[in-house]
Amino acid sequence: MVSRMTLIHAFELLESPPDKFADAIAVFGNDTTLRSWVFQLLSNQGDVTQFDGEQATWSDLRDELATASLFDFGGKRTILLRNADKFLSDCRPQVEKHFAKSNTACRFVLELDSLASNTRVYKALLKQHALVDCRISDGNKGPNPSLAKRRSFLMGYVARRHSAKLTRDAADVLMEMVGDDVGILETEIAKLALYCEPKQSIDQALVEDVVAGWQGKTVWQITDAIVAGDAAEALRHLDKLLGGGQPPIALLPQIAWSLRRLGMATAVYEQHERSGRKSQLEDALSYAGFNRGPSDIQKAKKQLSRMGRDTARQLLPWLLDADLRLKGTHSNEGRDRFLLENLVIRLAKEATQKKAPVKLPAATS
């Protein structure tokens, strides 16, 4: 519940809206869909006036903030300021002075890409008003929601938006394949809901069948080309997906999904080797998620053998590094594509240069 001295994540606010909102609220974070949903919720609070923070000045808002609602019978009028980062930078002293008030005529809501916790604005909101955190994943910065919380939000709030039921396994696979972006996840759930009969749940099999589609098949072709060391073929398929409108931040989790499982199997197998335990490759692959039958295991074994041990053991750190960069230093358009193409080339090049006849891991006994 939003009240004084409150920092709340958008998940909690959207799932359990309070009866009364604070007089001033900053809605900040990197997930634009969450920010939009929070603003939609706040827009339902009676008399609302919106401003564009890219164009607004303090003189535009000063009189509005001092004018109470004439129509809400004692309710607070709400002033929503979208894209407020520039406005806050230009008008920080006035905003700080306004937030220092414990009671105001209007509710003032700012939408921000980010808000540092060491600023006076942040501290004033935390002390007397409210902050709504809309971050999902921000590299190494900030507290990101746990897997359990993201799963619960998908199965609850997002699924209910489309009168759908989502199983736990389906939610996990969907996040593995699509990534963290709530807007992309909601789009996929909306599409999946159309395939369900009344009272039928969206399960793992439906996610893997529908979400994949031609794009999923192309992703598999990319990973197959990477494993085979064919960078040119992998880049051709990648260009097809990017040209079809798929953003790099949505493609990386899909490409990483199968590669990450190969990296996990390698890590498990080598851990057993170092501890002197006997281990079969099939067991490591099954633990890593290759559990859809003998053909799934056999395909993974061939991929590992073709890739080589040296490359396979680098999969997890390389994919993690790419994920952090894509959400940080390489999040801008152009740089994100460069990062993804560079990763594909790097992986395929390393697979090409594996030292034959080294196999990963050794043949099972």
Average pLDDT over residues 93-119: 87
The least confident of 27-31, 186-190, 310-314, 351-355 is: 351-355
Residue 356: what pLDDT? Answer: 40
Band of residue 131 on the pLDDT scale cut at 50, 70, 90 = very high
Average pLDDT, the chain: 82
Do the Cβ atoms of 137 and 185 come closer than 8 Å?
Answer: no
Residue 74: what pLDDT? Answer: 54
CATH number 2.40.160.40 is the correct assignment for the domain at 216-352: no
For the chain, the straight-line distance linking the first and the last C-alpha, in angstroms and rounded, comes to 58
Average pLDDT over residues 45-57: 84
Residue 94: what pLDDT? Answer: 92
Do the Cβ atoms of 46 and 76 come closer than 8 Å?
Answer: yes
Closest to 317 measured CA to CA, from 356, 346, 353: 346
Structure confidence by residue, pLDDT tens digits, 145-163: 888 999 999 999 999 999 9
Residue 1: what pLDDT? Answer: 42
Non-local CB neighbours of 275 within 8 Å, separated by 6+ positions: none
Residue 70: what pLDDT? Answer: 60
The ranges assigned to domains in the chain are: 6-133, 147-210, 216-352
CA distance readout (Å), 241 to 4, 128, 190, 191? 46, 48, 21, 19
∠ Cα 123 125 130 (to 5°): 135
Beta bridge partners of 110: 26, 81
Q: What are phi and psi of 212, to 5 degrees?
A: -65, -65
* Token duo for residue 337: 């594509």
Outline where the chain has alpha helix (H). 10-15, 32-43, 58-65, 85-90, 92-99, 120-128, 147-153, 159-161, 168-178, 182-193, 204-210, 213-228, 231-243, 248-274, 281-287, 294-307, 309-312, 315-326, 335-352
Outline where 181-293 has alpha helix (H). 182-193, 204-210, 213-228, 231-243, 248-274, 281-287
Tell me how far apart the 2 most distant CA atoms of the chain are, in Å.
81
Pair type for strands 106-112 and 77-82: parallel
**Sheet containing 130-133, strands listed edge to edge, beginning at the edge strand earlier in sequence:** 6-9, 130-133, 24-28, 106-112, 77-82, 48-52
**Distance between CA atoms of residues 250 and 122, nearest Å:** 31
Beta bridge partners of 86: none
Structure confidence by residue, pLDDT tens digits, 180-228: 889 889 988 998 998 888 889 999 888 877 776 556 667 778 888 888 8
The least confident of 73-77, 123-127, 204-208, 257-261 is: 73-77
Structure confidence by residue, pLDDT tens digits, 344-360: 888 887 766 654 433 44
Residue 121: what pLDDT? Answer: 92
**Distance between CA atoms of residues 158 and 166, nearest Å:** 9
Tell me the CATH class for 147-210.
mainly alpha
The winner for highest mean pLDDT among 45-49, 98-102, 162-166, 317-321 is: 162-166
Rg (CA), the chain: 25
The winner for highest mean pLDDT among 98-107, 199-208, 275-284, 293-302 is: 199-208
Residue 179, number of CB atoms within 10 A of its CB: 24
* Token duo for residue 249: 């931040």
DSSP code, position 364: P
DSSP code, position 129: S
**Distance between CA atoms of residues 231 and 343, nearest Å:** 10
Residue 86: what pLDDT? Answer: 92
Which is more confidently placed, 150 or 75? 150
CATH number, domain 6-133, options 3.20.20.150, 3.40.50.300, 3.60.110.10, 1.10.357.10 = 3.40.50.300
Closest to 360 measured CA to CA, from 296, 268, 278, 229: 268
Residue 364: what pLDDT? Answer: 41
Which is more confidently placed, 87 or 247? 87
In the chain, the percentage of residues whose pLDDT exceeds 90 is 22
